[in-house]
A and B are shown apart, each in its own frame.
Chain A
Amino acid sequence: MDEILRVEGLSKTFRLSRKQQKIERTSRKEIVAVDNLSFTANKSEIFGLLGPNGAGKTTTLRMLATLIHPDSGDAILDGYSVVSQPEKVRGKIGFLTSELKLEDFFTPNYLFDFFSHLHHVDEAISRERKQQMFGRFGIDKFAEVKVANLSTGMKQKLSLVISLVHDPGIIIFDEPTNGLDVLTARTVTDYLQELRSEGKTIILSTHIFSLVEKLCDRVGIIIDGQLTHCDTLENICGGQSLEDRFFDIYKEKKGGEE
């Protein structure tokens, strides 16, 4: 299989402010969010990062999206380094998280064109892609309605469409179904499978076992910033359900620490 993503020894430590120390009830001045993480992802595959809250999944994805810089290590996406070629990397990926918002004032039409410009998509291609994507997600009827007046589900679909204006080869989703209603969640998961069949690579983070079982070809289990397992579901689970296997791994990891 063609390797499209290689993560090598990625680490990230955050300094805790006094306020954060109080909230976390700790005297530690820093927290290791991601600790020497290494894995690979292949073309046309959905790779899932599975872990509890605070495990380091989002931090990892944010480093891959070049929103934050790794303290050490690197990740090579489609031949480009997140450390030395962040702009090139951003041109290759589509990144979506609930933290990313669209300006309420503009219409889907305007925003699609605006982000197409920023990604330097050819105008004719952009027009065609807009028609296709808006039709696919039912946004075409609301193309001239300001984002502020769209329903939550429609906003989320629009965010998904906007993150893919440039038809990226690698799609990074942080908790793709978080906060979505069942209909939108289904639309998104169906679309992710469709993207895989088109040859795209999808890296997603989640703590929902059923989502991993439904979508992921390979999975990396991340606990306390460290990757404990990285393989296909079959190889990790060995006949067990993913949920049972995950808790075994979790206990093992935590027991090992104690």
Chain B
Amino acid sequence: MKSNTWTIIKKEFARFFGDRQLLFTTVIMPGLLIYIIYSFMGTGMKKMATEGANEQVTLCVENLPESMAPLVDGVPFTVAVQQPVTQEDIDKLEDKSLNVVLMRFPEAFDEKVAAYDPQSGEFAPNIEIYYNSANNASTRVFHMLQNSLTIYEEQLSNRFDINRIESVDDQFDMANQDDVLGSVLSKLIPMLILMLLFSGVMGIAPSAIAGEKERGTIATLLVTPMKRNELALGKVVSLSGMALLSGISSFIGIVLSLPKMIQADTAGVELGLNYTGGDYAVLLITILATVLIMASVVSLFSALAKDVKNAGTMIVPFMLVVMFCGLTPMFQSSVPENLTAYMIPFYNSIQVMTSVFAHEMKWMPVVVMLVSNVVYTGIAVWVLTRMFNSEKVMFSK
């Protein structure tokens, strides 16, 4: 690397690592925040899923029919069969601290159900369940009862089944656990990575170029014998490096918090992240290639802008395009086969990352993506050089 470029890179990194606040907000905070938020979410979701089961709920039932006895037998809450459920009992439910659910069956429920003709136009026998939606335990029991009763109602008019499971070995979804997990991750993680990389670039690039223009410090650099392309390359490489650090921090945050999220999402089903070293290497290369082109494009906008605020405004449409690319895996069943698709910047990175997470990675798309992004970065550096040479761009007020 040319020595002036290296001098610029060293200066940018000295600025970056010397500014504790910038370092904290760009590198430490994203990963830490992601880890804390995702872990908190996962722990919270898990707690929500399990804590209700331990809470004692009293279910008071009026006119419990014989057919419904199994419904209330063996449920994880106390059942008190009482006659009748009074208005006073119902009013008590307004106190959300009471874990109570009241259930009122019509008299002779089983006979009335058996005699009911849906064609008669009359109302069907009605079961009243009183609960308090502000009380989690009460709500949980209500939904449990509602689901069981719905299933019972469907069984009464059952004509056929779909995918009836008669033994534990019966399996109709032929995807293995890895594929299921891969499919979920491939739709979410690439978009997250792209957003995190973008926020990393956005946190640094406008200040490093538009900020230098605004403060008048870039003109001081432009009167040195350094060539403009050395300055442009130095800026892009250093910004990419910083954004990469920010992206890596976010990525570590995701990786560390993912097991907690998955644990909550799958309610205790053991799922492993079965990715190979090659997968992680491709992921890293893709992130690097993405960050290079991202830093280049944001640098172009920053060079064009009059100040940091103006740069932020100019970058918004570009950010929307990048975010749109990030959303594409959600609307597709598999990654594109056509190699030309991997020449489209940002879309190509998203597709390669998706293929890695979905265990569908092939080498040619990775190569096309990498070469394309390096070529686009080269073009961007060339344009940035031209911009640094342009007095209109550099000194316009």
Residues of A within 8 A of B (CB): 65-69, 87-88, 90-91, 93, 95, 99-106, 110, 114-115, 117-120, 162-163
A-B contact pairs, 23 of them (CB 8 A): A67-B219, A67-B223, A67-B391, A67-B395, A87-B226, A88-B225, A90-B225, A91-B225, A99-B216, A99-B219, A100-B220, A101-B215, A101-B216, A101-B220, A102-B220, A103-B15, A103-B215, A104-B215, A105-B15, A117-B4, A117-B7, A118-B224, A163-B223
Residues of B within 8 A of A (CB): 3-4, 7, 11, 14-15, 18-19, 212, 215-217, 219-227, 391, 395
Given A68-B391, A90-B223, A91-B225, do A118 and B216 touch, yes or no (CB 8 Å)? Answer: no
Question: How far in angstroms is the closest Cβ of chain B from A70?
Answer: 11
CA A187 – CA B117 in complex, angstroms? 107
Question: How far in angstroms is the closest Cβ of chain B from A204?
Answer: 16
Q: Which of B11, B216, B226 is close to A100, meaning CB atoms less than 8 Å apart?
A: B216
Question: How far in angstroms is the closest Cβ of chain A from B152?
Answer: 71
Known A101-B215, A103-B212, A106-B15; further 10 A-B contacts with Cβ < 8 A? A67-B222, A67-B223, A68-B395, A87-B226, A99-B219, A100-B220, A110-B14, A118-B4, A118-B7, A118-B226
Q: Which chain B residue has the least Cβ–Cβ distance from A17?
A: B396
Q: Which chain A residue has the least Cβ–Cβ distance from B8?
A: A118
Given A68-B395, A105-B18, do A119 and B224 touch, yes or no (CB 8 Å)? Answer: yes
CA A68 – CA B394 in complex, angstroms? 10
Question: How far in angstroms is the closest Cβ of chain B from A27?
Answer: 21
**Are B224 and A101 within 8 A (Cβ)?**
no
Interface centre among B19, B216, B224, B227 (most CB of A within 10 A): B224
What residues on A are CB-neighbors of B395 within 8 Å?
67-68
CA A110 – CA B3 in complex, angstroms? 17
What residues on B are CB-neighbors of A66 within 8 Å?
223
What residues on A are CB-neighbors of B215 within 8 Å?
101, 103-104
Q: Which chain A residue has the least Cβ–Cβ distance from B219?
A: A100
**Are A87 and B225 within 8 A (Cβ)?**
yes
**Are A100 and B391 within 8 A (Cβ)?**
no
**Are A102 and B225 within 8 A (Cβ)?**
no
**Are B224 and A90 within 8 A (Cβ)?**
yes
Q: Which of B217, B222, B223, B391 is close to A102, meaning CB atoms less than 8 Å apart?
A: B217
Q: Closest 5 interchain pairs by CB?
A: A101-B216, A91-B225, A68-B391, A118-B224, A90-B225
Question: How far in angstroms is the closest Cβ of chain A from B219?
Answer: 5
Question: How far in angstroms is the closest Cβ of chain B from A233?
Answer: 29
Question: How far in angstroms is the closest Cβ of chain B from A215?
Answer: 22
Q: Which chain A residue has the least Cβ–Cβ distance from B227?
A: A87
CA A91 – CA B15 in complex, angstroms? 25
What residues on A are CB-neighbors of B222 within 8 Å?
67
CA A102 – CA B212 in complex, angstroms? 10
Interface centre among B15, B391, B395 (most CB of A within 10 A): B391
What residues on A are CB-neighbors of B226 within 8 Å?
87, 118
CA A50 – CA B309 in complex, angstroms? 38
What residues on B are CB-neighbors of A101 within 8 Å?
215-217, 219-220
Interface centre among B15, B18, B217, B395 (most CB of A within 10 A): B217
Q: Which of B14, B225, B227 is close to A119, meaning CB atoms less than 8 Å apart?
A: B225
